[in-house]
Amino acid sequence: MVMVACFLVCLATVPLTGGRVSALADFKPGKVWALWVALAIQAVVIFVPGGPSALYPAGHVVSYGFAFLFLWANRDLSGLWLITLGAAMNTLATVVNGGVMPATRSALEMAGVGTGGSGFLNSTIVGNPKLIFLGDVFAVPASFPLNNVFSPGDVCIVVGGAMVLYGICGSRLSGRTKSVALKPLKPLS
């Protein structure tokens, strides 16, 4: 939810930076279905309890594959490289830790996020974590709305998303003077 809130703030600032939110209506990204599949898998893994325990970590990793397909199809967008870097960081941390994003105890405590309970936790304390510096090591404190933990990869995704949004909408922050009309990409062979 923190990432969604960040994107909404960026969207709200588009007119303040000389951009046009209406330019999003003309934007036609490639392979949108892959993004929807990735998000659907993530939603099931995170919000639907009681599935087979081995299936959830595998689904978590597979969802990144669909996300990368979407990113590849839209690779010409300015700023997408930073989203891809962030997604790669998150994927690497998740894969080397058995399908779970490792989190530090201090970040979880600061955010007031528990590690107990039943079911799959997509972000939690992992015994002998690998690449913990890529994990959920930052926190929005429990005293703030939308308290949660987040990773360096998440930061890259949010900043890259802002770059893409501002570029599409023609914001002064993108270095462009008008909104971008993208031509369709050639299909992958």
Stated pTM of the model = 0.81
pLDDT for 131: 94
pLDDT for 51: 57
pLDDT for 55: 74
pLDDT for 66: 94
Task: Indicate the Cα dihedral angle 73, 133, 141, 98, nearest 10°.
Answer: 70
Return the structure tokens found at 34.
Answer: 């892959």
pLDDT for 179: 44
Return the structure tokens found at 32.
Answer: 């949108």
Task: Give the pLDDT means over successive 10-residue stretches in the chain (189 positions).
Answer: 86 92 92 94 76 70 90 91 94 88 89 66 80 92 87 94 92 64 52
Return the structure tokens found at 168.
Answer: 């599409």
Distance CA(163)–CA(78), nearest Å, equals 7
pLDDT for 14: 93
Return the structure tokens found at 8.
Answer: 């909404």
**Largest Cα–Cα separation, the chain:** 51
